[in-house]
């Protein structure tokens, strides 16, 4: 029986590419995002390439918390079960604190953290009922350290979701569910997507969507506890970002 995976934020960027690569590996996929026309296009693309694959999709705004629980349940029922859930939906907007754009920072915080909390709750309800599952939390390399300017709130939300997942892993450790429910935190570096399309494309640290997601998919399939992706250069940069003096950090970012 094919493994099943639900991916939120699947209408574009990393989410859509994960769906493509995982369906290539034999997964049945559940897709959730706000833009249903893009989900329909992606579902058609996958089924045209893999007619044997099950592809289910639903419109979902992760800030509609009741909808999160409903949609996760509907996709589980349509696919038969959920082996993996990738909490990927998020926003990249933000502004310097104290510059009158609380609205932008609030929207990012509600989507990236509270929305991720709702998704985690919904996924874990399903996994606890199944007594099996794999939660994948998409964080960011920006979670390694507090970030300045427009990145401040975004980075804080990504640190928050990483701790949410890590706390869950700590809870499960030493229990009978430890080997049956896995938790992975992914820390992507610069991977080309709609969210970062304003970042200078010539930066040597920017990975293509395909290459970056290939590293994410490899980490997911290995069920690692955490992974900086792609490993080069981000695994090496993680301790530098965590511990470098602020002057050095600001030059790096």
Is 90 exceeded by the pLDDT of residue 235? yes
Once rounded to an integer, what is the mean pLDDT over residues 28-37? 96
Chain position carrying tokens 């640190």: 159
> When comparing pLDDT for 198 and 189, which is higher?
189
Looking at the 3D structure of the chain, how many domains does it have?
A: 1
State the residue range of the domain holding 153: 4-252
Kindly list the distances between the CA atom of residue 205 and the CA atoms of 97, 109, 159, in Å, as whole numbers in the listed order: 27, 26, 21
Task: Please confirm, yes or no, whether 154 is among the known catalytic residues.
Answer: yes
| Catalytic residue chosen out of the listed positions 27, 154, 187, 190 | 154
Once rounded to an integer, what is the mean pLDDT over residues 127-149? 96
The CB-side HSE value for 47 (13 A sphere, CA atoms) comes to 12
Geometric angle at alpha carbon 246, from 243 and 249, rounded to 5°: 75
Instruction: State how far the Cα of 31 lies from the Cα of 61, in Å rounded to an integer.
Output: 12
Q: What does the pLDDT read at residue 200?
A: 47
pTM equals 0.94
CATH number of the domain that 70 lies in?
3.40.50.720
Burial of 245 (0-12, 13-18, 19+ CB in 10 A): exposed
């Amino acid at each position: 029986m094919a493994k099943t995976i639900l991916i939120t934020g699947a209408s574009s960027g990393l989410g859509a590419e994960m769906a493509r690569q995982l369906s290539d590996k034999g997964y049945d996929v559940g897709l959730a995002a706000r833009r249903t026309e893009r989900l329909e296009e992606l579902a058609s693309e996958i089924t045209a390439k893999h007619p044997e694959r099950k592809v289910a999709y639903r419109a979902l705004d992760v800030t509609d918390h009741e909808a999160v629980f409903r949609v996760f349940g509907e996709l589980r029922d349509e696919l038969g079960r959920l082996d993996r859930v990738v909490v990927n939906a998020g926003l990249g907007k933000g502004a310097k604190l104290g510059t009158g754009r609380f609205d932008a920072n609030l929207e990012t915080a509600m989507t990236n953290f509270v929305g991720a909390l709702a998704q985690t709750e919904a996924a874990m309800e399903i996994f606890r009922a199944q007594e099996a599952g794999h939660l994948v939390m998409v964080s960011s390399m920006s979670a390694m350290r507090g970030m300045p300017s427009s990145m401040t709130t975004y980075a804080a939300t990504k640190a928050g979701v990483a701790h949410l997942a890590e706390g869950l892993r700590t809870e499960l450790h030493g229990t009978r569910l430890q080997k049956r429910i896995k938790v992975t935190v992914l820390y992507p570096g610069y991977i080309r997507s709609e969210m970062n399309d304003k970042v200078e494309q010539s930066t040597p640290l920017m990975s293509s969507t395909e290459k970056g997601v290939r590293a994410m998919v490899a980490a997911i399939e290995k069920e690692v506890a955490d992974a900086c992706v792609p490993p080069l250069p981000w695994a090496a940069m993680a301790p530098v970002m965590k511990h470098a003096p602020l002057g050095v950090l600001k030059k790096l970012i």
